[in-house]
Structure 1
Amino acid sequence: MTLAFLAAWLVPASVKAHSSEGPAFAPTCHATSGLDTTFERMVNSERWVCSDSDWRASDPVAWLKFDKATWDDDALPRFFYTRTARHSAIAIAALDADGTMRVEHYRENDGDPIAAGPKFTLDLPEIREETRAVLVRIERPHSIPLLTEARVSFDKSATGWSQRDMMLLALVLGMLVLPLLFDISFFVVLREKFVVLHAVLVIAMMIYVLSAGGLITVFVDLPVSALAIIAPLIWAIGMGIVLLFFAAFVEPGAQSPLMRRATIAIAWWTLLVPTFLSLQFHATQPFDDQGYFLAFVPAMIMIPLAVAQALWRGSMAARFIAVAWLPMIVAGFERFARGTGLYTGPSTLDQMLYFATAFEVIVISLAIAHRFLVLRRERDAALTEAETLERLSERDPLTGLMNRRAVLSRFEGLRDEGFDTFALIDLDKFKDVNDRFGHQVGDQALVACADAIRGGEGRDEVAVRLGGEEFVVLLRGSETLTRAEALRQGIAIRIARDVEGLDRVVTASMGVVEIPRDFNAMMDFDDLYARADKLLYEAKATGRNRTTYERLKVFRTPPAARPNLTGAEAA
């Protein structure tokens, strides 16, 4: 918004005083001809069309005639002005009653752009009381509004838009700044392609409003030839981006595959064909004006069709887009009709398009905000579901204990947290339980075993089911061997209490490895499992229902100086 008011403030006072209602006079007749036609031949030519119809910008030369009857002797015209558009040259002749003719010749970039509307001015030859007409010869015109909006005036301040019009234009420009900031903020959080496309669209519309409204000349000194290209070029790019944005923004399934491909194809057509024609090369002058507007016809057909299908399929995004694009479509059709010469009107009608553009950008920004909230909810739900599935995938479905996958992924962190005792537990003669009492009873025994060793889980013990009747308990703190032995002995008691139908005691054997804290990094899960498994095998081999343990030590003396080890300690 600050930029908008700065632009309005920087417009010179003389420009601010412009009024489209001032003493400006329209041409009384118009005509076209070849390049070899001179002023002398056109004076009494029968080619003149003295009505507001049959305007053409496809012939090599366009002619305008301003008869004296349109101005007062007390206010002789001194300036010619018209819409900024490409041409190769303009010659202006003042024709006196006695046939005398004074001619001024101008090249394309001799025009003086003004910052109050998309217009430029040229000085007329000396206009006298005996001057009966002003003839204007425009060579290779590229735009019908270049002809229909041409005027002569005695007051240069009457050539531009009013101060109110320019303030409204600056307001539109300011309205486009906030959606751009929204897009940047959204993209930081939501890395979606449609956010980038909308940001590009907003920037394009800002440049379009600046250039088409003439405000760009406040900031940058550009020739008429450049000013004439920027607005149609940016509009063509913007229309292509609109279709790409639509295809990316609507929800999956809102467009059929065929409609989506057609939308993207027409988007690229719009980005290529009208963009090329907007450059207005003099070689393409016979057709680029009409061609430029006609090249938008596929997009003008596709947009309503694509929106209608998305609405029919229940797209919430399409509802926002329908509201946003309706004023733009109406204003676009008006500009299309005026640009193709279907009717004539003042350039101030362009302000309909500027406001429609600002309205579109703001509503679409709200749509993006809504979509942002929807996608965020969907992503949060997906993350929650993924976390739930992850937790489920790391839990043994029978006992609810962590499984082998879970302990492997967390083992390094558990060691860092001080879990330095590794106890491997196996139920004794468990195959006999399954064979005699059935797998249902066997499963009940496994659940009871898990309940017996899970008691301290989450504090100083972590219980894991590796598979079958094999369990691991990781312990930390003091007296870990005593605590592990207590858990092992509690297994038989818990199974006897919780499992009905057993006529025998189900015991467990255990192999325990204790490791020093500074020894942790030297052994991984598989290393500790291998040592504990050997100890478990010894417990099984020496009668079961017992614990065999090993306490590892780190020696800091050379091997020759180490004492002989006996018993349950090893290096």
Structure 2
Amino acid sequence: MAFMRLFYRLGMVAVLLALCVARPAMADDHTVPTFAPACHSATGLTPGVRAMQPRAQWTCDNNEWRSDVPAVWLRFEAESWQGEKLPQHFFSRIARFTSITFHAIDADGETRTRRLTQADGEAFPSGPVFRMPLPEITDKTTVVLARIEAPHSVPLLTEARITHDPGKAEWSQVDMMLLAFVAGMLILPLLFDISFFVVLRERFVVLHAAMVTAMMTYVLTAGGLASAFLNMPIALMAVLAPLSWALGAGISALFLNAFLERGAQSRLMRRVTVATGWFTMIVPGFFALQLDLTQPIDDVGYFLTFLPCIAVMSAAVLEAVLRGSRSARFIAVAWLPIIITSIERLLRGLGWHVGPSSLDQMMYVAIGIEVVVISLAIADRFLALRHERDAALTEAKMLEQISTRDSLTGLMNRRAIEARFDELLVQGFHTFALVDLDRFKAINDLHGHQVGDAALIACASAIRAAGDRDSIAVRLGGEEFVVLLRGPRPLERAEAMRQAIPMRIAKEVPGLDLPVTASMGVVVVNEANRHKMAFAEFYARADALMYEAKASGRNRLAYERLTVFTAAPEGRRDGEDRAA
């Protein structure tokens, strides 16, 4: 489709622009050494720096990382930077905390201290990382202690590093190019959603647009790419990233419920899926705010409350696939990488395993896969719905024809003409001719209903053939027909139709003993645009005239010419010129 090709090209331009804008903010490709903490310790707020100097206070492996404590200490040993430039900056993953106090301790016991709050942190323009300056590190410094008060995230602790380069980030230029590419790709489904919604007003298109918006917010904030465009506080970025993921996951459940075909989910699963979507937006969304009061539980609470979402959505997709849903197969392919990477991120967030922040790149790749596959799924669903809509319209037209057409003769039926009667009068069809076949019951009695039906079909053909675009033929039922006429000489044209009926029946229905004639009652109205007569009134007048014709010997026409006034003049009758 032309508009889809246009939006695809616009989307590719957006991807290239995103790459170009993000490139200047990326770190150089040269390798800069960074130093991880040798040990860590979880404590209350009371222990001071002297109490933390003995080795017995520390855990010197990657176990027992906790963010549900008042303070966590990180220990950086001088042996790690021997032979390298002295470290000057601390950096770690963006997350909420109250303050970080750095202690640079020399061999002679001299200590230099610097306490910085969250507002003092500066976000990198590449990667989900913030940095802070260390107190002065000298050749005599043996250890650097960092006391992080009220941490809200385990990766804030496990990914902490110190380095001499103030511009150093964990993520390389290639990593950031991948991130920018994914962010640019997210523009494409938004454009597709706009184009689809213009054509097909489906609820799942709006939900998918909201889901993609949440994903884009997550990529920009969790990946740190937003810092290349905006000077955002790290506290805001720390909240926006998990909040947008919670909202996106919850909306995904609502999208799944709206997107799957009817019958792809059981009623119970539909209800559970919707409830899980709202639960995910509300409960993990609340923990994502990382309030001071919830600091001991929000990190664990955030990740654990995602488990119902992962379980329910996996079960819902599996059920739909087993029920033969085509859309569910697309979703299974799209969401499997995200579910896997989400579980890995959950385990890392809970401290059950420790890994570098570059593992997040897997999630961004999974998001890119999801974007492509779900866009294909929506396009496939769009085509399917369009096909269903076209089939429904065709069926509706057929049903309309069945409901407004006489099945035997193909002429309009009474229902159709009554519905359009006022409109036809406005269009000038002021002559109402009622046709009735003479002694038709005898044909059915002597020759059977099959011959009678053939005579009715021939009668309809005669009326249709003798008419033109200024006449409309209708079968009212039985052997009764109505012809509406407009234009000059309506009586002569009506009489020609009546006379054509016996000849057509004799030609098409052989074996009849006598010719089948027709009687006709015709009402002609002058100034019809001003009258208020309904179909029933026309029919009653024409029916009376038609019976007059039959009483006068059949095979003839009786007519009445009416002149209708808004208010009839005194001494003047409405009906005039009555003849047989």
TM-score bucket of the superposed structures, by smaller chain: over 0.9
Task: Identify which of 40, 44, 52 aligns with 1:30.
Answer: 40
Correspondence list, 1:436-451, <5 A: 438-451=448-461
One-letter code aligned to 1:507? T
One-letter code aligned to 2:77? D
Residues 97-131 of structure 1 deviation map (CA, whole Å, 9 limit, x = unaligned):
12222211112222111111111111111112211
Deviation at 1:4, TM superposition (A): 4.9
One-letter code aligned to 1:238? G
Report which stretch shifted further, 140-149 or 458-467. 458-467
Q: What corresponds to 1:384 in structure 2?
A: 394
Q: What corresponds to 1:54 in structure 2?
A: 64
**Aligned-partner SS, 1:24:** coil
Deviation at 1:301, TM superposition (A): 2.1
Correspondence list, 1:552-567, <5 A: 552-553=562-563, 559=569, 567=577
Shift in CA distance, 243/456, structure 1 to aligned 2, threshold 3 Å: farther
Deviation at 1:207, TM superposition (A): 0.8
- Asked if 1:142 is matched to 2:157, the reply is no
Deviation at 1:418, TM superposition (A): 3.7
Q: What corresponds to 2:75 in structure 1?
A: 65
Shift in CA distance, 18/60, structure 1 to aligned 2, threshold 3 Å: farther
Q: What corresponds to 1:101 in structure 2?
A: 111
Q: What corresponds to 2:405 in structure 1?
A: 395
Within 2, Cα distance between the matches of 1:404 and 1:12? 73
How many pairs are equivalent?
568
Whether the 8 Å contact between 1:97 and 1:131 is mirrored in structure 2 is yes
- Asked if 1:128 is matched to 2:138, the reply is yes
Whether the 8 Å contact between 2:531 and 2:566 is mirrored in structure 1 is no
Shift in CA distance, 187/558, structure 1 to aligned 2, threshold 3 Å: closer
Report which stretch shifted further, 260-269 or 112-121. 260-269
- Asked if 1:484 is matched to 2:477, the reply is no
Q: What corresponds to 2:345 in structure 1?
A: 335
Q: What corresponds to 1:359 in structure 2?
A: 369
- Asked if 1:192 is matched to 2:182, the reply is no
**Aligned-partner SS, 1:280:** coil
Residues 64-93 of structure 1 deviation map (CA, whole Å, 9 limit, x = unaligned):
000111113651111111110011111111
Shift in CA distance, 11/182, structure 1 to aligned 2, threshold 3 Å: closer
One-letter code aligned to 2:116? Y
One-letter code aligned to 2:250? G
One-letter code aligned to 1:131? T
Q: What corresponds to 1:213 in structure 2?
A: 223
Shift in CA distance, 43/384, structure 1 to aligned 2, threshold 3 Å: same
Whether the 8 Å contact between 2:119 and 2:234 is mirrored in structure 1 is yes
One-letter code aligned to 1:141? P
Correspondence list, 1:287-366, <5 A: 287-366=297-376
Q: What corresponds to 1:249 in structure 2?
A: 259
Report which stretch shifted further, 205-214 or 266-275. 266-275
**Aligned-partner SS, 1:26:** coil
**Aligned-partner SS, 1:135:** strand
- Asked if 1:460 is matched to 2:461, the reply is no
Shift in CA distance, 182/534, structure 1 to aligned 2, threshold 3 Å: same
- Asked if 1:238 is matched to 2:248, the reply is yes
Whether the 8 Å contact between 1:20 and 1:161 is mirrored in structure 2 is no
One-letter code aligned to 2:174? R
Within 2, Cα distance between the matches of 1:229 and 1:247? 28
Q: What corresponds to 1:39 in structure 2?
A: 49
Report which stretch shifted further, 377-386 or 540-549. 540-549
Within 1, Cα distance between the matches of 2:68 and 2:573? 108
**Aligned-partner SS, 1:426:** strand
Deviation at 1:482, TM superposition (A): 1.2
Deviation at 1:280, TM superposition (A): 1.1
Residues 176-205 of structure 1 deviation map (CA, whole Å, 9 limit, x = unaligned):
111110011001111111111111111111
Within 2, Cα distance between the matches of 1:563 and 1:191? 58
Within 2, Cα distance between the matches of 1:456 and 1:285? 90
Shift in CA distance, 567/202, structure 1 to aligned 2, threshold 3 Å: closer
Task: Identify which of 415, 425, 434 aligns with 1:424.
Answer: 434
Report which stretch shifted further, 283-292 or 17-26. 17-26
Shift in CA distance, 508/272, structure 1 to aligned 2, threshold 3 Å: same
Shift in CA distance, 256/524, structure 1 to aligned 2, threshold 3 Å: same
Deviation at 1:294, TM superposition (A): 1.4
Whether the 8 Å contact between 1:24 and 1:159 is mirrored in structure 2 is no
- Asked if 1:174 is matched to 2:184, the reply is yes
Q: What corresponds to 1:540 in structure 2?
A: 550
Within 1, Cα distance between the matches of 2:180 and 2:26? 12
Q: Which blocks of at least 5 consecutive residues in structure 2 are unaligned?
A: 1-11
Shift in CA distance, 438/10, structure 1 to aligned 2, threshold 3 Å: closer
Correspondence list, 1:516-531, <5 A: 516=526, 519=529, 522-531=532-541
Whether the 8 Å contact between 1:73 and 1:129 is mirrored in structure 2 is no
Residues 512-548 of structure 1 deviation map (CA, whole Å, 9 limit, x = unaligned):
1223466366444333223322322332333332211
Q: What corresponds to 1:117 in structure 2?
A: 127
Within 2, Cα distance between the matches of 1:407 and 1:375? 34
Report which stretch shifted further, 268-277 or 453-462. 453-462
Within 2, Cα distance between the matches of 1:266 and 1:431? 70
Whether the 8 Å contact between 2:104 and 2:141 is mirrored in structure 1 is yes
Within 1, Cα distance between the matches of 2:30 and 2:93? 13
Deviation at 1:331, TM superposition (A): 1.9
Within 2, Cα distance between the matches of 1:141 and 1:563? 100
Within 2, Cα distance between the matches of 1:185 and 1:162? 36
Shift in CA distance, 162/564, structure 1 to aligned 2, threshold 3 Å: closer
One-letter code aligned to 1:541? A
Within 1, Cα distance between the matches of 2:98 and 2:456? 93
Deviation at 1:303, TM superposition (A): 3.0
Deviation at 1:434, TM superposition (A): 4.4
Correspondence list, 1:219-234, <5 A: 219-234=229-244
**Aligned-partner SS, 2:50:** helix
Q: What corresponds to 1:78 in structure 2?
A: 88
- What RMSD, in angstroms, separates the aligned Cα atoms of the two structures? 2.6
Shift in CA distance, 520/542, structure 1 to aligned 2, threshold 3 Å: farther
**Aligned-partner SS, 2:74:** strand
Deviation at 1:232, TM superposition (A): 0.6
Task: Identify which of 247, 258, 269 aligns with 1:259.
Answer: 269
Residues 344-399 of structure 1 deviation map (CA, whole Å, 9 limit, x = unaligned):
22212211111210210111011110111111111111111110111011112232
Q: What corresponds to 2:503 in structure 1?
A: 493
Deviation at 1:156, TM superposition (A): 1.0
- Asked if 1:507 is matched to 2:524, the reply is no
Within 2, Cα distance between the matches of 1:565 and 1:399? 34
Q: TM (normalized to structure 2)?
A: 0.91
Shift in CA distance, 3/220, structure 1 to aligned 2, threshold 3 Å: farther
Residues 424-455 of structure 1 deviation map (CA, whole Å, 9 limit, x = unaligned):
11223444544555544443433332232222
Whether the 8 Å contact between 1:19 and 1:158 is mirrored in structure 2 is no
